[in-house]
Structure 1
Amino acid sequence: MSDTASSAKRKRMDLDPAETLTPTRSKIWMPYGDIILQAESTQFRVNRDVLAQQSSVFKDMFSIPQPPNELTVEGCPIVHMLDTAKDWELLLGVLYDPFQHKDALPFDVLASMLRLMKYEITIAVENATQRIHHEFPEQLDDWDGCESDLTKIEPREEVVADLLNLVYECGITTSIPTVAFCCLRGKLKLEGLLKGLQRPDKSRIILPDEIKQTMAIATERIIDSQHRIFGWLDNDRVIPHVFCTTPSHCTQSLRTMRRAIVLDENDKARYFGLDLWDDEWSDGMCSACGEATKEAFATSHKQFWESLPSFFGFPEWKDLRDVN
């Protein structure tokens, strides 16, 4: 066998399994494109200028002269990407049609924009990161001003579990405490996070064992911290107030308030530390006790926020930094 034949045989044997499949043309196929990106067995015909303008990595790549005998498709050289075809299809869709998602962004698109951050497509990374920071901020005032539902990311019941995986994977550390807390206080619960959750398409969200362990430990820390920080709900430290006009009545109202704050509709412990104050909680109290409980709640609310990162094994808020 000639050296050429042996070399060719070795090349065929060394091919990635995806490359042995017949490439398929994606829906992103620009008629005036001058470069082919191939991810897995899917090819995308795109424009170098578009990629180079958005990505310093591609700009540098395209500045290097290519060998004259390289493989081409319709006259366009092929660049093999070591990423999923799905991620590239979603990211390129954003680059070529940036106005298709003017409001809430689907999670899969958001994830692709971040998973491909190694290509330094700044506009995509910043857009995705800003959306996550908007929904899950690192300042208490911003958190208290957030809508109850997601507004920059398309909401679905289990999307916070997907987001938890994503912020860990992509190093968006400043949002991990609030994303993790939302996973626990919502309908997902710790049991669902440990067993795995089902998406609408029947696929499952599986958290890495390390994150599962972190969430399990955080559960105990949160319950203990709430009991300690909001301890005034269980004693007479705040109520009755020194200027209370109806001590016995206000003391009874405090018990009703505690039940409303601490327990859910099934009389199980809630994760309430980041809840906003509800004026209905102090209904029935005299004005002095009503104001006292509101002030005590605000103080405890702030203290709980300051402790939040520690529940998940992180330092104080001021020391958190995003990796990217």
Structure 2
Amino acid sequence: MTSSCTRDPELWFDDGNLVIQVTPRLFRLHRGVLALSSNFFRDMVAFPRAAEEDTYDDVPLVVLRDDDARDAAHFFKALYMPTYFPPPPARTTFEALEGVLRMAHKYDAPVLRRCALQHLARPFSSELCEVHLDMTRYYDLDLRSNWKVAELKAITSLAQEVHAIWLLPMVYHETLQHPANALDAPEVWLGRQRRFQHNEHVACFAGCEILRKEFPLDVFASTKIGCGQPVCLKYRLASINQDDMRNFMEIPLTYFTPWMENDDNFGDICDACMDAMRDAYNSWLKDVWQRLPSIFNLPDWDELSALKKQDLEGSPEAPCGRGCDERRLNRMEGAGR
């Protein structure tokens, strides 16, 4: 019922020729603007207007059911205002990113969908050469208590919803830094409840337990690498301690990389042992990285990389994926047409 809805003051244009209801808001927009970026709306406006079509103030009314008005507002602002949701390195907010990505995927707006995923691709890289870098987030976050866990939960849900599962290996890897009870408990962040679904939590928890046991002990303790002299083996063993083993479990893919790149950390170890340790570490890292998706019960990197390439490099006019046309028709049927 439109009587329970209020007009969105920023997205109500008196010359608009389409009213969209996303309870509890009403948006008066322009068919041409919507059709320009969204294949869903392009298809919708192409249909002849039915005599029994609902109207609001003599303007055709479309009801988008099961959507959140906050998401719709971010999405429509991104369509109308070129500077509202720019690609990285320009900044945005997580609320805008979340809303735009969800709506752009559902209503087949590939340019905005790709822009949102570009914001997520940087901090949750799928490239081994970038995993040890502190990848800047170009979206602002609510930094109140426990936001890091809530962000990971939110991105996991988004990645599953928009079929961008190539984000998940590094999202799950970051959960290693947080206690299991924090991951299991639902919480409210940015006005929405955040939680892992049961299957997500199981895959994440099981994978984290495997990763915590991947400590590269042979790099420091194996007698089969380096010069083989007892004094070097002694120095190599002395270069790690219990703190390293404990801290490693929080960031296994990145913990030792900066250490290996700094010659000062090797003390009096000979050059042959230094080179051998680095080679052994790099081999270990590549092996764990290659197995990382399967550790979390995800497709292998080849499949994930192909999905990522399609998401980030696909043609702006390309459909959103296999089955898109069928999904588009289903969405139109569910949108009050």
Q: Work out whether the TM-score is over 0.5.
A: yes
Give the Å deviation of 1:128: 1.3
Give the Å deviation of 1:98: 2.8
Structure 2 residue 283 is the aligned partner of structure 1 residue 277: no
Match of 1:90 in 2: 74
Within 5 Å, give how 1:200-239 maps onto structure 2.
201=190, 204-224=193-213, 226-227=214-215, 230-233=216-219, 235-237=221-223
Alignment partners' CA distance in 1, 2:228 and 2:13: 75
Counterpart code for 1:61: M
Larger Rg: 1
Within 5 Å, give how 1:128-143 maps onto structure 2.
128-143=116-131
Match of 2:5 in 1: 23
Counterpart code for 1:163: I
Pairwise CA RMSD = 2.6
Counterpart code for 1:213: V
Report if aligned partners of 1:37, 1:81 keep a CA contact under 8 Å in 2.
yes
Give the Å deviation of 1:284: 4.2
Alignment partners' CA distance in 2, 1:69 and 1:209: 44
Give the Å deviation of 1:257: 2.9
Counterpart code for 1:88: A
Query: Judging changes above 3 Å, is the alpha-carbon distance between structure 1 residues 74 and 87 closer, same or farther for their aligned structure 2 residues?
Result: same
Match of 2:108 in 1: 120
Counterpart code for 2:199: E
Percent identical among aligned pairs is 21
Give the Å deviation of 1:309: 0.3
Give the Å deviation of 1:191: 2.4
Report if aligned partners of 2:219, 2:281 keep a CA contact under 8 Å in 1.
no
Unmatched runs of 5 consecutive residues or more in structure 2: 308-319, 322-337
Alignment partners' CA distance in 2, 1:170 and 1:237: 49
Give the Å deviation of 1:137: 2.9
Alignment partners' CA distance in 2, 1:254 and 1:30: 70
Match of 1:7 in 2: none
Match of 1:9 in 2: none
Match of 2:278 in 1: 294
Alignment match of 1:36 (pick from 5, 15, 19) = 19
Match of 1:14 in 2: none
Number of residues of Structure 1 aligned to a counterpart in Structure 2: 292
Match of 2:180 in 1: 190
Structure 2 residue 9 is the aligned partner of structure 1 residue 47: no
Alignment partners' CA distance in 2, 1:34 and 1:202: 32
Which has the higher mean CA deviation after the structures are superposed, 46-55 or 89-98?
A: 89-98
Once the two structures are superposed, residues 80-129 of structure 1 have per-residue CA deviations (whole angstroms, 9 ceiling, x without a partner) of 11112111111112112231344233222222223221211111111112
Alignment match of 2:295 (pick from 306, 311, 315) = 311
Alignment partners' CA distance in 2, 1:46 and 1:249: 72
Counterpart code for 2:269: M
Query: Judging changes above 3 Å, is the alpha-carbon distance between structure 1 residues 254 and 104 closer, same or farther for their aligned structure 2 residues?
Result: farther
Counterpart code for 1:99: T
Report if aligned partners of 1:21, 1:41 keep a CA contact under 8 Å in 2.
no
Within 5 Å, give how 1:7-18 maps onto structure 2.
none
Alignment partners' CA distance in 2, 1:64 and 1:101: 30
Match of 2:138 in 1: 152
Counterpart code for 1:39: V
* Larger RCO (alpha carbons 8 Å, 6+ apart): 2
Counterpart code for 1:195: A
Which has the higher mean CA deviation after the structures are superposed, 128-137 or 25-34?
A: 128-137
* Aligned partner of residue 257 in structure 1, secondary structure: coil
Alignment partners' CA distance in 1, 2:7 and 2:286: 54
Report if aligned partners of 1:234, 1:258 keep a CA contact under 8 Å in 2.
no
Counterpart code for 2:237: L
Alignment partners' CA distance in 2, 1:125 and 1:183: 25
Once the two structures are superposed, residues 272-315 of structure 1 have per-residue CA deviations (whole angstroms, 9 ceiling, x without a partner) of 22443321542443333222222222221111111100111123
Match of 1:256 in 2: 239
Report if aligned partners of 2:152, 2:175 keep a CA contact under 8 Å in 1.
yes
Report if aligned partners of 1:25, 1:43 keep a CA contact under 8 Å in 2.
yes
Report if aligned partners of 1:274, 1:305 keep a CA contact under 8 Å in 2.
no
Alignment partners' CA distance in 1, 2:268 and 2:192: 49
The TM-score normalised by the length of structure 1 is 0.80
Report if aligned partners of 2:19, 2:28 keep a CA contact under 8 Å in 1.
yes
Alignment partners' CA distance in 2, 1:137 and 1:108: 21
Alignment partners' CA distance in 2, 1:80 and 1:198: 27
Unmatched runs of 5 consecutive residues or more in structure 1: 1-18
Alignment partners' CA distance in 2, 1:259 and 1:196: 33
